[in-house]
């Protein structure tokens, strides 16, 4: 009998065909909630899950007694109880590498858009307010030659820094658990304690994964350490930042502006002050959202789940210990 896969994010027909060659697939192209009865029914029989943006809880896992592997269509895995999955011997796979450059493009888009006030001024044109040559009231601030402070210096952080150093002549500072000597050499980057980085940077860009250690890593104290001219960019996860503290820092002028792709609550409610602030560029979590990259991520997840359910090693595995514990 074929093993069963539940897929709950849009996959291309070729990707579905690839899976159905070897597996029975229950496909939920658009799943609004884990409470969907058909989804729960399929889950009860599933050996594999492929999808994204769904909080997987231990309670949900209790309803999936046959589950052997999950392939998330994301690099971040804060939606999954990793220790619990490992304890149950369930493999968790993600999609690093294929989204690095696209997500770094989004990071740099936020840096430039906030510095040059692109969204605010595009709205100014749309409203018909461009009646005479623009003046100082519309000036932005330079990006080239400035200091870019990276909090987190993994694949995506390094790719943003590479754009800054090699494309815009920026000085790169980074704070990271381990030193990165190769990147120091390649980009002239310098490792700093986080407080020093916050005080010295013109742009502070967060790329750390969300974990118990990084939740609310940036709050009132950290904003107070930044320059009043600093621009803050978050391309990681909303919960890495204390959002009310960010709003207060933006309102009081403690920092100049913020470029945000992620929020504590997504989708971002219009009740939040953030989308209404002129010095905020707020994007709807588009980090990796291009046709090419989302296809590549879905393909990686499809390959990961197929390998995992065939007893082979997936390409990108989060919990190595679960793989090692297999018979």
Can residue 51 be called a binding residue for ligand DGY (CB under 6 A)? no
Where do we find the tokens 């990707």? 15
In the set 123, 215, 266, 320, the catalytic residue is: 266
Q: Minimum CB separation from ligand DGY for residue 260, in Å? A: 13
- For 61, other C-beta atoms within 10 Å of its C-beta total 20
Restricted to residues 260-319, the positions that interact with ligand DGY (CB under 6 A) are 287-288
CA angle (144 as vertex; 142, 149 as ends), nearest 5: 95
Cα Rg of the chain (Å, integer): 22
Can residue 74 be called a binding residue for ligand DGY (CB under 6 A)? yes
Q: Would you say 111 and 163 are in contact if contact means Cβ atoms under 8 Å apart?
A: no
Whole-angstrom distance between the N-terminal and C-terminal Cα of the chain? 21
Tokens representing 268 are: 């971002």
Residues 6+ apart with CB under 8 A from 244: none
Contacting residue, 42, 43, 56, 75, with ligand DGY by CB under 6 A: 75
Can residue 259 be called a binding residue for ligand DGY (CB under 6 A)? no
Q: Minimum CB separation from ligand DGY for residue 109, in Å? A: 15
Q: Would you say 191 and 216 are in contact if contact means Cβ atoms under 8 Å apart?
A: no
Q: Minimum CB separation from ligand DGY for residue 129, in Å? A: 35
Nearer residue to ligand DGY within complex by CB, 98 or 111: 98
Measured CA distances, 244 to 213, 238, 239 (Å): 19, 12, 11
Q: Minimum CB separation from ligand DGY for residue 271, in Å? A: 23
Q: Single out the segment in contact with ligand DGY by CB under 6 A; choices: 74-82, 276-284, 307-315, 319-327.
A: 74-82
Contacting residue, 51, 76, 149, 314, with ligand DGY by CB under 6 A: 76
Nearer residue to ligand DGY within complex by CB, 247 or 286: 286
β strands within 47-165, DSSP E = 48-51, 69-72, 91-93, 147-151
The CB-nearest residue to ligand DGY is 76
285 labelled catalytic: yes
Measured CA distances, 196 to 150, 189, 315 (Å): 12, 14, 38
Nearer residue to ligand DGY within complex by CB, 75 or 226: 75
Nearer residue to ligand DGY within complex by CB, 288 or 304: 288
Q: Which residues bind ligand DGY (CB under 6 A)?
A: 74-76, 99, 287-288
> Hey, which residues are catalytic here?
237, 266, 285
């Amino acid at each position: 009998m074929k093993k069963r896969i539940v897929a709950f994010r849009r996959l291309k027909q070729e990707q579905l065909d690839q899976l159905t060659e070897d597996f029975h697939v229950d496909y939920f192209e658009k799943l609004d909630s884990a409470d969907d009865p058909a989804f729960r029914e399929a889950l009860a029989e599933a050996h594999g899950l492929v999808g994204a943006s769904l909080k997987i809880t231990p309670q949900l896992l209790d309803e999936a007694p046959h589950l052997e592997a999950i392939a998330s269509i994301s690099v971040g895995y804060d939606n999954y109880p990793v220790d619990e999955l490992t304890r149950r011997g369930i493999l968790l796979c993600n999609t690093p590498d294929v989204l690095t450059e696209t997500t770094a493009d989004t990071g740099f888009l936020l840096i430039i858009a906030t510095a040059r006030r692109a969204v605010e001024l595009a709205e100014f044109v749309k409203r018909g307010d461009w009646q005479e040559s623009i003046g100082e009231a519309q000036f932005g601030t330079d990006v080239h030659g400035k200091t870019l402070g990276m909090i987190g210096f993994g694949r995506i952080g390094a790719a943003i820094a590479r754009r800054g150093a090699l494309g815009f002549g920026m000085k790169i500072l980074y704070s990271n658990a381990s030193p990165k000597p190769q990147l120091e050499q390649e980009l002239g980057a310098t490792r700093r304690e986080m407080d020093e980085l916050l005080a010295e940077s013109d742009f502070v860009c967060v790329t750390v994964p969300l974990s118990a250690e990084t939740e609310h890593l940036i709050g009132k104290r950290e904003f107070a350490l930044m320059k009043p001219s600093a621009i803050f960019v978050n391309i990681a996860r909303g919960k890495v930042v204390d959002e009310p503290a960010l709003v207060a820092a933006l309102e009081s002028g403690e920092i100049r502006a913020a470029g945000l792709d992620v929020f504590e609550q997504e989708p971002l409610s219009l009740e939040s002050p953030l989308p209404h602030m002129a010095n905020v560029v707020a994007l709807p979590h588009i980090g990796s959202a291009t046709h090419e990259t989302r296809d590549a991520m879905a393909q990686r997840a499809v390959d990961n789940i197929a390998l995992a359910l065939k007893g082979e090693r997936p390409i990108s595995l989060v919990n190595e210990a679960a793989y090692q514990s297999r018979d």
